[in-house]
């Protein structure tokens, strides 16, 4: 047991060192992409906590992302001395509160009606941004101020990478603990059977709204990081397609899996990179690969990997048994 933990600590340290060294090895653009990917992974994490764990279909996460992004940009412009981490945290809390409030009326809805309501939420958010131009600059877009902490400016993709990766790692660990803890188990119970969950004392209304709030919190934080990374916000950035992309990420990566969220973000961002250079075929290829993923990997890549590993360990075990018997 002890040995395993040591190995675990060692391998995690190794991973952290690699992550910390990557910007020195990789090209500037690749570092930017990794940051973008981390932002999307955070959204996928948040969405997965809601969709993958409690089974509520949310199709408006671009709206939450927009709230977090605009909150960060506007507060950052108004209160220049405030450290960016505080602003991002506030953006997360603000978005979380909106998510909580949205979760209350949605309690009355089920299945695809939740999808419809959240979809509408996403549209409403971009419309508000567009119309409230005295605050958001509307169509003209909003130039995001540079992220700062006590005199230190995150004024390059290289520096931003560390800010974004730091927040992403913290929130991933937090999500992992959450998912494995009481709340996570309550979420899964809700997904499996609401009635059964209620009979064992899980407060349906409470946990459903908590799920919305947490999911929005994650996406709001991601929005703050997105704002700093992209440096320019406009309502055109937060479309329905983006919300659908987020759903695609967790479907491809694996519903109800922390690792799956990250894998999904990697695959989708990577795929978009490859496809951006192709003009005519990209939507076709994208659609086909989605179909293939859902047919052949219904539990996503992380689900498939787990199955493969289980088989592998089974095979190893039986082989070990055979060897033992032979000797």
- Please identify which residue in 85, 158, 272, 290 interacts with other proteins, judged by CB under 8 A: 272
Give DSSP secondary structure letters for 162-216. Answer: HHHHHHHHHHHHHHHHHHHSHHHHHHHHHHH-HHHHHHTT--HHHHHHHHHHHHH
List Cα–Cα distances, 238 to 116, 123, 234, 242, 249, in angstroms.
17, 9, 8, 6, 16
List Cα–Cα distances, 56 to 47, 97, 117, in angstroms.
10, 18, 11
230 is an interface residue for other proteins by CB under 8 A? yes
To other proteins, the closest distance from the beta carbon of 310 in angstroms equals 9
240 is an interface residue for other proteins by CB under 8 A? no
The pairs formed by 162-167 with CB atoms below 8 angstroms and a separation of 24 or more are 162/20, 162/23, 163/84, 163/85, 163/225, 163/228, 164/35, 164/38, 164/39, 164/225, 164/228, 164/229, 165/19, 165/34, 165/35, 165/38, 167/42, 167/85, 167/88, 167/221, 167/225
Which residue, 7 or 83, is less far from other proteins as judged by CB?
7
17 is an interface residue for other proteins by CB under 8 A? no
89 is an interface residue for other proteins by CB under 8 A? no
The token pair that represents 242 in the structure block: 């983006």
Q: What is the three-class DSSP state of 149?
A: strand
Stretch of 108-116, 127-135, 160-168, 174-182 lying at the interface with other proteins (CB under 8 A): 127-135
How far is 327 from 316, CA to CA, in rounded Å?
A: 16
Residues 153-212 that bind other proteins (CB under 8 A): 157
28 is an interface residue for other proteins by CB under 8 A? yes
Count of residues of this chain found to bind other proteins when the rule CB under 8 A is applied: 59
The token pair that represents 211 in the structure block: 């799920």
- The angle, 0 to 180 degrees and rounded to 10, between the axes of the packed helices 182-192 and 157-180 is 70
List Cα–Cα distances, 103 to 156, 215, 217, 260, in angstroms.
37, 11, 13, 24
140 is an interface residue for other proteins by CB under 8 A? yes
Which residue, 211 or 229, is less far from other proteins as judged by CB?
229
289 is an interface residue for other proteins by CB under 8 A? no
Which residue, 48 or 137, is less far from other proteins as judged by CB?
137
134 is an interface residue for other proteins by CB under 8 A? no
234 is an interface residue for other proteins by CB under 8 A? yes
306 is an interface residue for other proteins by CB under 8 A? yes
Strand boundaries in the chain, DSSP class E: 142-143, 147-149, 152-154, 232-233
The contact mask relative to other proteins for 249-268 (x = CB under 8 A, - = no) is: ----------x--xx--xx-
Residue pair 73/227 in contact (Cβ under 8 Å)? The answer is yes
284 is an interface residue for other proteins by CB under 8 A? no
To other proteins, the closest distance from the beta carbon of 242 in angstroms equals 7
242 is an interface residue for other proteins by CB under 8 A? yes
117 is an interface residue for other proteins by CB under 8 A? no
Q: What is the three-class DSSP state of 34?
A: helix
Which residue, 131 or 193, is less far from other proteins as judged by CB?
131
Which residue, 213 or 258, is less far from other proteins as judged by CB?
258
48 is an interface residue for other proteins by CB under 8 A? no
**Residues found near other proteins in the complex (CB under 8 A):** 7-8, 11, 15, 18, 26-30, 32-34, 36, 127, 130-131, 133, 137-141, 143, 157, 226, 230-234, 236-237, 239, 241-242, 259, 262-263, 266-267, 269-270, 272-280, 282-283, 302, 305-306, 309, 313
């Amino acid at each position: 047991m002890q040995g395993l933990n040591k190995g675990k600590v060692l391998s995690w340290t190794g991973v952290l060192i690699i992550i910390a060294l990557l910007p020195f090895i990789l090209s500037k653009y690749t570092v930017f992409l990794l940051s973008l990917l981390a932002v999307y992974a955070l959204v996928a994490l948040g969405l997965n906590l809601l969709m993958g764990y409690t089974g509520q279909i949310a199709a408006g996460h671009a709206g939450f992302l927009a709230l977090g992004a605009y909150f960060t940009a506007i507060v950052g412009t108004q209160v220049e001395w405030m450290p960016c981490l505080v602003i991002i945290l506030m953006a997360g809390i603000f978005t979380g509160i909106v998510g909580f409030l949205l979760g209350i009326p949605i309690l009355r809805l089920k299945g695809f009606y939740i999808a419809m309501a959240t979809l509408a939420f996403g549209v409403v958010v971009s419309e508000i941004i567009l119309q409230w131009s005295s605050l958001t600059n509307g169509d003209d877009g909003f130039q995001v101020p540079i992220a700062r902490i006590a005199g230190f400016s995150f004024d390059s993709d290289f520096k931003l990478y560390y800010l974004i990766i730091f927040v992403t790692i913290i929130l991933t660990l937090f999500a992992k603990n959450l998912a494995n803890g009481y709340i996570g188990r309550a979420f899964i119970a809700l997904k499996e059977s609401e009635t059964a969950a209620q009979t064992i004392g899980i407060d349906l209304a409470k946990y459903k709204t908590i799920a919305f709030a947490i999911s929005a919190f994650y996406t709001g934080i991601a929005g703050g990081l997105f704002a700093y990374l992209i440096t320019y916000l406009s309502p055109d950035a937060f479309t329905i397609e983006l919300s659908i992309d987020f759903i695609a990420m967790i479907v491809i990566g694996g519903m109800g899996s922390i690792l799956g969220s990250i894998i999904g973000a990697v695959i989708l961002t990577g795929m978009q990179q490859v496809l951006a250079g192709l003009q005519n075929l990209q939507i076709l290829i994208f659609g086909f690969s989605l179909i293939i993923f859902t047919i052949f990997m219904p539990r996503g890549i992380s689900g498939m990997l787990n199955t493969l590993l289980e088989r592998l360990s089974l095979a190893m075990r039986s082989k070990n048994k055979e060897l033992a018997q032979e000797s």
